[in-house]
Structure 1
Amino acid sequence: MFTKETNAYLELLSTSSTHSNLHRFKELLEILGNPQEKLKCVHLAGTNGKGSVASLISAILQEAGYKIGLYTSPDLVSVTERIRIGDILISEKDFERLLFQVREAASKFQNKSLFTYFEVLTAIAFLYYKENNCDVVVLETGLGGRHDATNIITAPLCAVLTTISYDHVQRLGSTLKEIAYEKAGIIKPSIPTISYPQEPEVLDVITSTCQMQNAPLYFCDLKELTFINNTLEGQVFNYKNYQKLSIQLLGKHQCYNAALAIEVIEVLLYLGFTIRSEAIYKGLAKANWPGRLDIIHHKPLFLIDGAHNVQGALALRDAITYYFKGKKIIYLFGSLKDKDYHQVLELTMPLGQIAILVTPPSTRAIRADLLQKQIQNYCPQVFAAATLKEGTELALSLADEESVIIAFGSLYFIGELPKILETCL
């Protein structure tokens, strides 16, 4: 457990500004010895799939024998999930030790305004990976790309762009072109860029940015991907010359993410990394990313999923249609006010028979009772639960062994569900 002082400081940071000042953040890192300049990074940005692609790349590189730092966000249960080496999370002792270093460095500024929560975590991550001599750091942006704290790095091994669509429109822009511009901000001069196939207006931005930066641009080719088997136990597929690849991540979109990860590995091979085909097969098969079509209980089947925007909702809808056709679907749903939850509901709720609404533990959450009337247009039975535990108990009481309970909408509450479920069974 963190000390009270650490918890209080993290809470203070979480309520401060979320807008990074890269010039000021650079000064902080200079005081800390510029640990980021000693790291070789694979830098990822995008709207959906960043965490999955990052975990797939990391798993392959680990199988190839490299020491890999993995920096992701958000976390489901503990902030230490964001900073790991291989499969091992940063210890609370190391986290607090490095947090103290960052606070000491921040105290040297005449301007005493707080750095953002994400800036502090990013500084801790850079220090941790540097002192542990990681061979590669797989580095996921927090929000956007151009002004993201991770974009302080100047020469990554490569830039990776996952699917780009609408999300965080208040910060990134109201059009795909504006959002793509922010995401493409991680593209650096002469550095290879690997992208998921994108919408035409997004593609235009990425292509023109790469041309201006003289950066080689590669895409994964989904026409080269064929599905062999797709069950709740995992998926098997072919991609280009790789035959019978397997992943345990569910949903066809995860096979597409795996194809993007393979393209990144191909670029790293060109850059001189030693990665045998065996490492690709084993890494993909071992990769795990909690909270994304993640089965946490059987009979009844209980899944948690981080779908909170339109693209995530489309992937969830496709998965429900494929895996659970004809099943009784019970939803546990909660959302933040600043998400496009209207479209998320429109895409998912008609596939369910029961919706139980909860209020995520965030000041940005929309109250469950305020959502109730809206969802009644889509789903036959709708309930608003006072607590997440109450909602979970209600879902279980309404389910039989053949039912499927799906909790989704906000990562702010799905991370709590595995522990809550244990108390309900």
Structure 2
Amino acid sequence: MTKHRASSLAEREIERLMTLHPKGFDLSLGRITRLLERLGNPHLRLPPVIHIAGTNGKGSAAAFTRALLEAEGLAVHVHTSPHLVNWHERYRIAAPGGSRLVDDRVLADAVSRAAEANAGEPITVFEILTAVTFLLFSEHPADAAIIEVGLGGRFDATNVIPDPAVSVIMPVSMDHEAYLGDRVELIAAEKAGIIKPGCPVVIGAQESHTALEVIAETADRLNCTTVVYGQDFVAFEENGRLIYQDEDGLMDLPTPKLLGRYQYANAAAAIAAVKVAGFDIGHDAAERAMTSVYWPGRMQRLPNGHLSELAPEGAEVWLDGGHNPSAAMVIAEALTEQEERNPRPLILISGMINTKDQTGYFRAFKGIARRVFTVPVNSSDAGVPNGELAARAIEAGLEAEPVASVANALTLLRDSWDPKEAPPRILIGGSLYLAGAVLAENGTPPV
């Protein structure tokens, strides 16, 4: 997702595509269907597909689903988007001992074949890269394929799968209004567009009753078996453990490695999804999954690296790419939980793009963040200037100061921090573009 020198074979192929085709979204299934036909319809030769849509939580659900299946010894492909640092992150290929990011030569070959089959006709880069997903996943054996929707659902390029093992709809809220509509029921209808006639559906924990109604009515109209969070399955914390409950009984599991109470519901949706899809997940495998799950850029404790070393001594540095008000609320809740366990002053280092509700994002941190440093998002043409972003934070009731970069913010904190005070808890966030740039600069890209 970050702009950086294209150094690998696959990156050079993709950069070439980006000079020829639009970089954004043009929601339709006609072009991807045409291309897939020319490639021999690889999307019809996949292992059982777990198809995941939603505004927030779909990436975490994919990560939990992968962890559950792999803990049971199953071979799993995973498609997620966007990537944070390298294009290869979008494609995990099943391998002994657990899926691995696709080999560079394998990815470059698949991109080249898809581009050649398209023969220069109008198409978006995302559509070509989605065709690459189907090529890769059809050509490597696996027990399951987890496929995350890119944008929306109904007209997303991934939505050519005719009979998913399960369609999963994670929490729906306002985001991408320019593409999906300006009311939650319109957005929910777009997300529910991945539901296929007669194929089972898992509905994750919905913030909006209206969204839940729209999704459930769509599933009912298409004669789908539907499993709903809060009705057919649930998760809650008890004695520092995650308790998952459905009609089969209870699972007493460790607290998930992904931090934040909201991850309990994401984990629960993943457990329900793999069960509904027909996979038997034993208690031991579920335990291993909760402690091994991996999802970078989401409430990630930033490891030692070039950037984190600039922070005040003893500081906690966290990274989260959440970028809308709903995401900010769950991040703020997770940080409040951390504060209850280990009190520290909270400092935000934030960068955002201009399609997001910046004031709404910052409002979630009112009363819990001491200060905000706003930074430009240089890896996106849509980045909000840091001075303008500081004004949005001030509108939300926060004290804010624009600075040149994340490194600059960390250095200013280190040089001015009172050593008599507890070291700060620092959240770098507001954009997946920013998260990717931070991981790249820190020297700790996703693996």
Query: TM-score normalized by structure 2?
Result: 0.87
Answer whether contact 2:50 2:167 (CA < 8 A) is retained: yes
Counterpart of 2:242 in structure 1 is 237
Answer whether contact 1:353 1:379 (CA < 8 A) is retained: no
Q: 1:354 to 1:68 in 2, by over 3 A?
A: same
Match for residue 188 of structure 2 among 150, 165, 180? 180
Q: 1:103 to 1:225 in 2, by over 3 A?
A: closer
In the alignment, structure 2 segments of 5+ residues that lack a partner are 1-6, 305-313
Moved segments of 4+, more than 6 Å: none
Answer whether contact 2:321 2:429 (CA < 8 A) is retained: yes
Q: 1:378 to 1:343 in 2, by over 3 A?
A: closer
Counterpart of 2:27 in structure 1 is 20
Q: Say if 2:151 is the partner of 1:136.
A: no
Counterpart of 1:283 in structure 2 is 289
**Residues 370-394 of structure 1 deviation map (CA, whole Å, 9 limit, x = unaligned):** 1223323556642212233323333
Q: 1:17 to 1:352 in 2, by over 3 A?
A: closer
Match for residue 405 of structure 2 among 358, 379, 387? 387
Q: 1:13 to 1:160 in 2, by over 3 A?
A: farther
Match for residue 33 of structure 1 among 37, 40, 48? 40
Question: 3-state DSSP class of the match of 2:174?
Answer: coil
Question: 3-state DSSP class of the match of 2:404?
Answer: coil
Q: Deviation of residue 104 (structure 1)?
A: 0.7
Answer whether contact 1:356 1:395 (CA < 8 A) is retained: no
Counterpart of 1:301 in structure 2 is 316
Q: Say if 2:104 is the partner of 1:92.
A: yes
CA distance in 2, matches of 1:118, 1:418: 23
Question: 3-state DSSP class of the match of 2:154?
Answer: coil
Match for residue 381 of structure 2 among 363, 369, 376? 363
**Residues 148-186 of structure 1 deviation map (CA, whole Å, 9 limit, x = unaligned):** 000011111110010011111111011111000000000
Q: 1:133 to 1:224 in 2, by over 3 A?
A: closer
Q: Deviation of residue 74 (structure 1)?
A: 1.2
Counterpart of 1:339 in structure 2 is 356
**Residues 347-396 of structure 1 deviation map (CA, whole Å, 9 limit, x = unaligned):** 12442122111111211111101122332355664221223332333344
Give the alignment of 1:172-251 within 5 angstroms.
172-198=180-206, 199-221=208-230, 224-228=234-238, 236-240=241-245, 241-251=250-260
Q: 1:179 to 1:357 in 2, by over 3 A?
A: same
CA distance in 2, matches of 1:5, 1:202: 41
Number of residue pairs matched? Answer: 411
Q: Deviation of residue 421 (structure 1)?
A: 4.2
Q: Say if 2:264 is the partner of 1:255.
A: yes
Counterpart of 2:170 in structure 1 is 162
Farther off after superposition, 97-106 or 244-253 = 244-253
Q: 1:347 to 1:139 in 2, by over 3 A?
A: same
Q: 1:25 to 1:105 in 2, by over 3 A?
A: same
Q: 1:19 to 1:140 in 2, by over 3 A?
A: same
Answer whether contact 1:303 1:405 (CA < 8 A) is retained: yes
CA distance in 2, matches of 1:27, 1:380: 50
Answer whether contact 2:347 2:427 (CA < 8 A) is retained: yes
Q: 1:162 to 1:396 in 2, by over 3 A?
A: farther
Q: Say if 2:372 is the partner of 1:351.
A: no
Query: Letter of the aligned partner of 2:390 in structure 1?
Result: Q
Counterpart of 2:309 in structure 1 is none
Answer whether contact 1:329 1:352 (CA < 8 A) is retained: yes
Q: Deviation of residue 302 (structure 1)?
A: 0.1
Q: Say if 2:423 is the partner of 1:414.
A: no
CA distance in 2, matches of 1:246, 1:210: 32
Counterpart of 1:233 in structure 2 is none
Q: 1:172 to 1:195 in 2, by over 3 A?
A: same
Query: TM-score normalized by structure 1?
Result: 0.91
Give the alignment of 1:77-156 within 5 angstroms.
77-85=85-93, 86-107=98-119, 112-113=121-122, 115-156=123-164
Farther off after superposition, 48-57 or 298-307 = 298-307
**Residues 272-317 of structure 1 deviation map (CA, whole Å, 9 limit, x = unaligned):** x343332222122211111111101482100001220111011011
What is the percent sequence identity of the aligned residues?
30
Q: Deviation of residue 12 (structure 1)?
A: 2.6
**Residues 303-334 of structure 1 deviation map (CA, whole Å, 9 limit, x = unaligned):** 00122011101101111222125421111101
Higher share of residues assigned helix: 1
Q: 1:411 to 1:229 in 2, by over 3 A?
A: farther
CA distance in 2, matches of 1:102, 1:32: 7
**Residues 32-56 of structure 1 deviation map (CA, whole Å, 9 limit, x = unaligned):** 1111101121000000000100111
CA distance in 2, matches of 1:5, 1:288: 28
Counterpart of 2:307 in structure 1 is none
Answer whether contact 2:197 2:223 (CA < 8 A) is retained: yes
CA distance in 1, matches of 2:83, 2:291: 23
Question: 3-state DSSP class of the match of 1:324?
Answer: helix
CA distance in 2, matches of 1:210, 1:327: 46
Question: 3-state DSSP class of the match of 1:304?
Answer: strand
CA distance in 1, matches of 2:175, 2:55: 7
Query: Letter of the aligned partner of 2:350 in structure 1?
Result: F
